[in-house]
Amino acid sequence: MMHIPTLRGEGWRVCALPDLGALNGDAMNIVDHSFIQAIDGTWQLWACMRGTKPGRILYRWEGQSLEQKTLWTDKGIAARADAAWGEHVAPAELIQAPFFLKHNGQYWCFYNCGEVRAMFSEDGKNYTRRRFHRDNNVLTHCNGPCRGRDAMVFRDDDGKWYLYTTVSYAFDGHSGAEVIVRSSDDLAFWSDHTVVNRGGVGGSGPVSCESPFVVKHAGLYYLFRASSITFLTYVYCSKTPYNFGVDHDDKLIATLPLKAPEVFEHAGQWYISDLADFKGIKLYRMEWVSQ
């Protein structure tokens, strides 16, 4: 049975635009973000700060509970691009789109800096790069337009991992975007990519497939795809993690007034986030309503 993701009640703001002092830019925004519960039980929120003086950086906040209605505590800059790892530092720093998961007692932070990369932590708070694959921290290598960003990963019931990213492309006078997926048995070696979604009511421009997020619920797969053309999120439902509708909306089941959400469950309650006004991330309770 298909279920429709539905917002319940008003959202609450969990963070605000921080003061970066000498790094403040003229038009700073809080964009792609991710939540994880650290080993001490606190909740960690990392987000990409764009428009800072050096470029894009990652910033961290800490909360005591997802239901906390006061602003979380600012914890400062979490990570910046590092030239020693081949990351983009000129003409501007570019590190973005964190995504967390915990596996076998180890915390992972996937992020984008030219390619999809990873950092690791033992406590869920302090992350370091590590040469875990091909003598670097890059997960996927692609010299063409299949380089993905806005990575998110989930593990299916059979143990296989799926890495979803968005790809923006421009060639022969045409530009657009699509959501792609790769699979892995070990989080290190990844398959070639498959296009799973593009076009439709969300648009077909280079920022029409932002921040893809996939969850499995009651045996079905749900893709949350944000569009920076409409500033809405489109939800697609599929029986397979490989096809959410390409150049059509046959699998579209809902449209949410949210920007670049992350969707997750904790203690039996589902939550969904929102960039809101780009000055502070909000959380909402979410329910699955049977169709």
Secondary structure (H, E, C), the chain = CCEEEEEEEEEEECCCCCCCHHHCCCCCEEEEEEEEECCCCCEEEEEEEECCCCEEEEEEEEECCCCCCCCCEEEEEEECCCHHHCCCCCCCEECEEEEEEEECCEEEEEEEECEEEEEEECCCCCCEECCCECCECECCCCCCCCCCEEEEEEECCCCCEEEEEEEEEEECCEEEEEEEEEEECCCCCCCCCEEEEECHHHCCCCCCCEEEEEEEECCEEEEEEEECCCCEEEEEEECCCCCCCECCCCCEEEEECCCCCCEEEECCEEEEEECCCCCCCEEEEEEEEEC
- pLDDT confidence of residue 146: 55
pLDDT(175) > 90: no
Give the mean pLDDT of 178-183: 96
pLDDT(144) > 70: no
pLDDT(188) > 90: no
Break the chain into its structural domains and give their ranges: 3-133+146-290
Q: Average pLDDT over the chain, rounded to whole?
A: 94
Least confident of 38-52, 112-126, 129-143, 226-240: 129-143
| 3-133+146-290, CATH topology level | Tachylectin-2; Chain A (2.115.10)
- pLDDT confidence of residue 140: 78
